[in-house]
């Protein structure tokens, strides 16, 4: 059975690091590679870069991590969305492995 995944999108890299740190301190989870998105309307956002933070672990730990990450990120620049997937299927696992931080 696959590990649960928690994903939370935040405004900016600083908020992502703070959220990731808070989530890892709150629960027994691992932090996966961040992903980024610069939407077309970036100039209208509080911070022009959206970062997705991904946590892996059992469902209850992932939920706790996402909740802690949300509180932490809201103290910096804000949260766009969050979700926990209890048992990701194979195609979802492949998409979770993608990240845009290593691309220019």
Local confidence pLDDT in tens for the 104 residues of the chain? 579 999 999 999 999 999 999 999 999 999 998 988 877 777 777 777 889 999 999 999 999 999 999 999 999 999 999 999 999 988 888 888 777 766 65
Q: Where along the chain do its domains lie? A: 24-48+62-78
DSSP 48: S
Cα angle 3, 58, 24 (rounded to 5 degrees) comes to: 105
- Tell me how crowded residue 49 is: count the other CB atoms within 10 A of its CB: 17
| pTM score | 0.87
How far apart CA 92 and CA 49 sit, in angstroms, is 23
């Amino acid at each position: 059975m696959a590990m649960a995944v928690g994903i939370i999108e935040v405004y900016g890299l600083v908020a992502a690091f703070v959220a990731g740190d808070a989530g890892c301190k709150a629960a027994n989870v691992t932090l996966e590679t961040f992903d980024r998105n610069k939407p077309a309307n970036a100039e209208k956002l509080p911070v022009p870069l959206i970062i997705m933070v991904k946590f892996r672990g059992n469902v209850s730990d992932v939920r706790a991590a996402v909740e802690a990450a949300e509180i932490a990120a809201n103290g910096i620049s804000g949260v766009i969305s969050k979700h926990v997937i209890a048992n990701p299927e194979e195609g979802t696992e492949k998409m979770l492995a993608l990240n845009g931080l290593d691309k220019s």
